[in-house]
Structure 1
Amino acid sequence: MEFIKHFVMATVDLRTYRYFCAVARSGSVRIAAEACSVTQPAISRQIAMLEETLSVTLFQRRPSGMVLTAAGSALYGNALKLLNQAERVERSVIPWHGSGATFRVACLDTTLHHIMAPFIAETGADISDLRPERAHNIYATLEESMDIAVATAAPPRGKESQLLARAPISVHYRSDMLSADFNGELRDISTVPIVIAGQGSAVEHIVRDATEIIGLELIISSVVSSGRMAQAAAASRPVVAITTEPSLFGLETQTAKIDEIVLSTPLYAVWDTGHPSDKKIRQLVASLSAWLHESQPWKPKTNP
Structure 2
Amino acid sequence: MYDQSGSETAGAGADALPPHIRDMLAEAQAEPEIESRVPSLSVRSLPPPEIPKTQLDESDLAILKSSLSQSRARSEHLKSRCDELTKILAERDRQLRELRGYVHDASRIQERDHAYLRATHLDPAVALEIELLKRRLETAGLKPDPDPIKQLPHDLQAEFLQLTQRYNNLLLENDELSAATASAQAERDFLRLTVRELREELAAKQEWNDCLEEEREDFFTEEGLKNNVLTEQPPQDNDTNNNGYPSSNNMDISGSAYPPLPPQYHYQHNNNQEQQQVPSSSSSWGGHQLSRVPGTGYY
Give the structure-1-normalised TM-score: 0.16
Name the structure where strand makes up a greater proportion of residues. Answer: 1
More helix by share: 2
TM-score (norm 2): 0.16
Q: Which structure has more RCO (C-alpha within 8 Å, separation ≥ 6)?
A: 1
